[in-house]
């Protein structure tokens, strides 16, 4: 299973470490880190996201809500499930469990 993790300012590092420790070699784990200063409002966050996403599952540890929303929309279009803990999105294919 290929898992793609999106994070800002190392926000997903502890979870990534847990996946590596407990998942052993069962997952093909890749990270996308967005660590540039961002405005309060991003009109089109896709400029900061990859053009194409190839994964079986996306984990969203992004802090900026516009990035998370556009990532979720992109994944929905591609049929890729997203886990975005603690987010308040209502997008088909996005699981938002409480943190």
What's the pTM?
Answer: 0.87
CATH level 3 topology of 2-95: Rossmann fold (3.40.50)
pLDDT in tens, 37-82: 998 999 888 789 998 899 999 999 999 999 999 999 999 999 999 9
Q: Which DSSP helix (H) or strand (E) runs through 13?
A: helix 13-23
Tokens 């890729």 found at: 80
Task: List the chain domain ranges.
Answer: 2-95
- Residue 78 has φ and ψ, to the nearest 5°, of -95, -5
* Chain segment 6-35, per-residue pLDDT in tens: 999 888 888 899 999 999 889 999 999 998
């Amino acid at each position: 299973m290929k898992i793609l993790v999106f994070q800002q300012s190392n926000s997903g590092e502890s979870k990534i470490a847990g996946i590596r420790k407990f998942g052993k070699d069962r997952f093909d784990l890749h990270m996308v880190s967005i660590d540039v200063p961002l405005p309060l409002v991003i009109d089109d966050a896709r400029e900061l996201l990859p053009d194409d996403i190839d994964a079986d599952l996306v984990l969203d540890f992004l802090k900026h809500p516009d990035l998370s929303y556009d990532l979720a929309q992109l994944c929905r279009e591609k049929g890729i499930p997203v886990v975005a803990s603690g987010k308040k999105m209502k997008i088909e294919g996005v699981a938002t469990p409480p943190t």
